[in-house]
Structure 1
Amino acid sequence: MTGAAPRETPREGGRLAELDLLRFTAALAVLAFHYFIAFASVWGERPAELFPAISTISGLGILGVELFFMISGFVILMSVWGRSLGAFALSRLVRLYPAYWVSVAVTAAVYGLTAATALDPRLGPGEYGVNLTMFQRALGVHDANGVYWSLWVELRFYLLISILVIVGVTFTRCLVFMGVWLLAAGFFAGSEEAWVGLVVMPKYAAYFVGGMAFFLMTRFGPRLVLWCLAGISGGLAVSAALDRVAGRVDKVGYAAMPVPDWAVVATVIGFYVLMAMVALGWLRWLRWRGLVVLGALTYPLYLFHTAAAVVIVPALRDTLPPPLTALVTVLAAMAFSYLVYRVAERPLQELVRSRRRRRAPAGPAPASPASPGFPGTPGASPAPGQPGAAIPLATGEKASVP
């Protein structure tokens, strides 16, 4: 089982463009949930009453974070295959922190230099400084921005996957890792123990494992054991999603978040169907070059859409009709996100890649922080023509729902 050869999986241009589209869709879902359901203090009244026609679908946007976690399971396993722990850590550092640091600075400026009051975290300079580490929750400090909670989930996933990197990533070891994690998540479902939520993450484990299973299908083919893991994770994911949405509805009322249970079940099943389509290659026809740009926008948009709403919506809501106010805010958030990508993210990523290329020994080039490949064995470089030999890291792991 360990030595099974990867199947041929052609990739035009070496990039999973379909994941870029899914990531951007997930980001828009989260944005819709915040703008049209959650941000009552920003609008001055219930957004569901301002936008009743889209209130149900916007409410389902709370699950955009779950889709992000599934994509993260897929992409992170892809990125660690055949790489050292140091290379993986560097890739995560370069991918996560530049835009995040800008986000913390922008959030501090919004509340320190403007009259904005909506969603104010009420933090002091030292607390904003702690937020720069991304470990504020571990240190007992509140998030500067409500969207940061999922980054803490991601960091814990990275620590768990690091165990797999240390022992060596193989097909069999991935199955053991995924099976043990799913078993623990099912056993501890509903537990209120702090250590369980910290380590096992029963509310989110199924999504990461589902994404990992679909990546293994991409690499090794749609084997029965992988379908079983995906199916088990799907059952746990549906249960977790129902609990999470029900908790939100109980808190704010059905009128403020009109999301029925059947829609939650259908949405999570839809996520699994879409990821299965990616794994089986059914979405390879998605090759529009603009998808790369949308993929680049995803993480900054996730980080900055809250700040854009806090500043722009109160300034326009009494002048423009709600739909136009929302449109202006969304476009401004996207424009600023692209600027952050070009100015903060891309230059540092290119610098790291160029330095790694200069330091690399002669021979096959290792995968760069933004371009993990599909090596045949741990520590090996992709062979010419091997599936995914130059697939970049299309990381869309972040999501945001307070």
Structure 2
Amino acid sequence: MRLASLDIIRFFAAFAVMLYHYTGTTGVFFNALGHVTKYGYLGVPLFFMISGLVISITAENRLAVPFAIARFVRLFPCYWACMIITLIALFLTNKLDFTPLEIAANTTMLNDYVEIRNIDGVYWTLQVELKFYACVFFLLATNTFQFKRAWLTVWMLLCASYIFFDQPRILGWFIHPTYSPCFIAGVAMYLLRKEGANIFNVGTLGLSFILILFTSSSKVDQFISEANSAETFFSLLTIALFFALLLAISLDKIIVKPRKIYYILGGISYPLYLVHNVAGKQLIIGLSPLLGTTLSITLTCFAVLIIAYIVFMFVEQNTAKPLKKGLESILLGGKS
């Protein structure tokens, strides 16, 4: 089941992160626009909440291997294409300083486990997502995914222990502790959608919301330089609004009729997110001496949108089905 409203929100989140990197951060801050776009980093926790909801829907009544194949097909071809574009941009601007080993490690999305730097800083969020997918795969493989109350309770307790007591420290190896409440909130919204309101579902959603606000308040300084109390307040208010919007969508209080344009917007959000940062900034740097900062950023936004569309239409759309079919043939004997 695909919700058109989530496609729109995905695109909004990716576009907000792009504007944050181009106009809302120190060094690229200009005019009044930056006072709004500096909150664009909040598209990331929104992504994670969406992921918790969507993965819960897609993993229900599914076997582990088909789930893994579907996630691999969705993530990796587009990721590899965007990584190549980023490497080309760095090469053309004489900024390519990654070794073959570093590049090879990045192709796996697992480079953080061996402390190898990311080619693009935004890749850290993919590693957070990958850990979540791995945990879902484990639950499916052990036939325990359906026991959501049990594993959600354990997950919530472990995250709370890590957030407040910094224990167990090994937790980060399996799942991202401080962003886990976002995923938990998404799963809780799915349960509310499926089962309706009960003490567990409402309680889990409420506790996850509290933990999201608590952890988010401590992260504001990481994304907004020398954030003051007003900026912290508006950051938390924005997260609360995102939370409420996603909850309304999950409960069908907001229904958007499916259209091809929404499908495309949702489709390009992933490559847009992947390619905008390093490659986009190199383009801005190259154009700024000739066109000025404002025009350079505007043209770069359009250029990145076009690149994202091309990657979605000609890479993801053309590789997904044959790659999925090939993997199913190898791993499942052609059975999905």
TM-score, normalising length from structure 2? 0.91
Q: Contact (CA 8 Å) 1:206, 1:237: kept in 2 or not? A: yes
How far does residue 104 in structure 1 lie from its aligned partner after superposition?
2.1
Residue among 64, 67, 71 paired with 2:43: 64
Distance 1:200 1:289, change over 3 A: closer
Alpha-carbon separation, structure 2, partners of 1:223 and 1:360:
41
Alpha-carbon separation, structure 2, partners of 1:26 and 1:236:
21
The answer on 1:253 being equivalent to 2:232 is no
Counterpart AA for 1:23:
R
How far does residue 307 in structure 1 lie from its aligned partner after superposition?
3.7
How far does residue 202 in structure 1 lie from its aligned partner after superposition?
2.2
Aligned to 1:47: 28
Counterpart AA for 2:276:
H
Aligned to 1:391: none
Aligned to 1:345: 316
Q: Contact (CA 8 Å) 1:185, 1:200: kept in 2 or not? A: no
RMSD: 2.4
Alpha-carbon separation, structure 2, partners of 1:339 and 1:110:
16
The answer on 1:285 being equivalent to 2:250 is no
Aligned to 2:136: 161
Counterpart AA for 1:96:
L
Secondary structure, aligned partner of 1:285: coil
How far does residue 350 in structure 1 lie from its aligned partner after superposition?
2.3
Alpha-carbon separation, structure 2, partners of 1:136 and 1:76:
24
Aligned to 1:334: 305
Give CA deviations for 1:57-107 in whole Å, capped at 9, x if unaligned.
212111111000011111111111111111011011101100111122222
Alpha-carbon separation, structure 1, partners of 2:204 and 2:272:
32
Q: Mark the runs of 5 or more structure 2 residues left unpaired by the alignment.
A: none
Q: Contact (CA 8 Å) 1:29, 1:61: kept in 2 or not? A: yes
Secondary structure, aligned partner of 2:213: helix
Secondary structure, aligned partner of 2:62: coil
Aligned to 1:189: 163
How far does residue 323 in structure 1 lie from its aligned partner after superposition?
2.9
Which structure has greater helix proportion? 2
How far does residue 237 in structure 1 lie from its aligned partner after superposition?
0.3
Q: Contact (CA 8 Å) 1:82, 1:169: kept in 2 or not? A: no
Counterpart AA for 1:140:
E
Aligned to 2:20: 33
Counterpart AA for 2:160:
G
The answer on 1:299 being equivalent to 2:286 is no
5 Å-filtered alignment, 1:263-278, equals 263-278=234-249
Residue among 212, 215, 234 paired with 1:240: 215
Select between 287-296 and 158-167 the one with higher mean Cα deviation.
158-167
Q: Contact (CA 8 Å) 2:181, 2:208: kept in 1 or not? A: yes
Give CA deviations for 1:102-156 in whole Å, capped at 9, x if unaligned.
12222222222x1254xx6x31122111111111111221101111101111111
Q: Contact (CA 8 Å) 2:106, 2:118: kept in 1 or not? A: yes
Residue among 173, 178, 191 paired with 1:203: 178
Alpha-carbon separation, structure 2, partners of 1:76 and 1:29:
23
How far does residue 306 in structure 1 lie from its aligned partner after superposition?
1.6
How far does residue 283 in structure 1 lie from its aligned partner after superposition?
1.6
Q: Mark the runs of 5 or more structure 1 residues left unpaired by the alignment.
A: 1-13, 41-45, 367-402
Secondary structure, aligned partner of 2:269: helix
Select between 193-202 and 221-230 the one with higher mean Cα deviation.
193-202
Q: Contact (CA 8 Å) 1:116, 1:311: kept in 2 or not? A: no
Q: Contact (CA 8 Å) 1:56, 1:259: kept in 2 or not? A: no
Give CA deviations for 1:307-354 in whole Å, capped at 9, x if unaligned.
442332112212324332222111110100110111211112122466
Counterpart AA for 1:127:
E
Alpha-carbon separation, structure 1, partners of 2:42 and 2:253:
23
Aligned to 2:148: 174
Alpha-carbon separation, structure 2, partners of 1:200 and 1:351:
31
Aligned to 2:59: 80
Q: Contact (CA 8 Å) 1:63, 1:241: kept in 2 or not? A: no
Alpha-carbon separation, structure 1, partners of 2:108 and 2:334:
30
Q: Contact (CA 8 Å) 2:73, 2:324: kept in 1 or not? A: no
Residue among 109, 116, 129 paired with 1:134: 109
Secondary structure, aligned partner of 1:15: coil
The sequence identity of aligned pairs, in percent, is 27
Select between 141-150 and 286-295 the one with higher mean Cα deviation.
286-295
Count of residues in Structure 1 that have an aligned counterpart in Structure 2: 332
Q: Contact (CA 8 Å) 1:70, 1:211: kept in 2 or not? A: yes
Q: Contact (CA 8 Å) 1:84, 1:165: kept in 2 or not? A: yes
The answer on 1:115 being equivalent to 2:88 is no
TM-score, normalising length from structure 1? 0.76
Aligned to 1:395: none
Alpha-carbon separation, structure 1, partners of 2:37 and 2:134:
32
Aligned to 1:400: none
Secondary structure, aligned partner of 2:114: coil
Q: Contact (CA 8 Å) 1:128, 1:144: kept in 2 or not? A: yes
Aligned to 1:6: none
Alpha-carbon separation, structure 1, partners of 2:172 and 2:163:
9
